[in-house]
Amino acid sequence: LFTVSAGGQPKYSQDFAPLPNGISHVAYNDLEAAKAVINEQTCAVIVEPVQGEGGVIPADIEFLKGLRELCDQFGALLIFDEVQTGVGRTGALYAYMNYGVIPDVLTTAKALGGGFPVGAMLTTDK
């Protein structure tokens, strides 16, 4: 339920009401918009390093670096959703490796299973 809510696409979440509260969405690659909503109440920031359903749009490196800095500043986890981009689909094992910005949590699936329905969540010690 949280995942479909966090994605921000009503076509996937409308049938699961009531949805969890407290989720903010900002425009992709808009660091100023992110700065306006990330604060000491923020527990995590979830972003795709390459936006999949939005049109295969890569993140600006400054956007990801800025999110990393904001998460560090406010003690929030930086979560990269690499379900579509992981396991070599961007030239590196994971897209974040092309940016040099390390997430606290990484989600992966699709190519990970080679056709078998499997997913994984990888974390740092944080």
pLDDT in tens, 12-59: 777 777 777 788 889 999 999 999 999 999 999 999 898 877 778 889
DSSP-derived letter for residue 16 is: G
How many CB atoms are closer than 10 A to CB 109? Answer: 17
Give me the residue label for tokens 């379900």. Answer: 83
Q: Which CATH architecture fits 26-123?
A: 3-Layer(aba) Sandwich (3.40)
Contact 84, 48 (CB under 8 A): yes
**Residue 66 burial by CB count (10 A; 0-12/13-18/19+): exposed, middle or buried?**
middle
pLDDT in tens, 60-85: 999 999 999 999 999 999 999 888 78
Alpha carbon distance 37, 32 (integer Å): 9
pLDDT of residue 2: 65
Question: ∠ CA(55), CA(42), CA(20), 5° rounding?
Answer: 70
Confidence of residue 1 (pLDDT cuts 50, 70, 90): low
Rg over alpha carbons for the chain, rounded to the nearest Å, is 14
**pTM here?**
0.85
Alpha carbon distance 92, 55 (integer Å): 20
Domain locations in the chain as residue ranges: 26-123
Residue 120 token pair = 């994984």
At 82, which amino acid appears? Answer: E
Residue 78 token pair = 């930086």
Confidence of residue 3 (pLDDT cuts 50, 70, 90): low
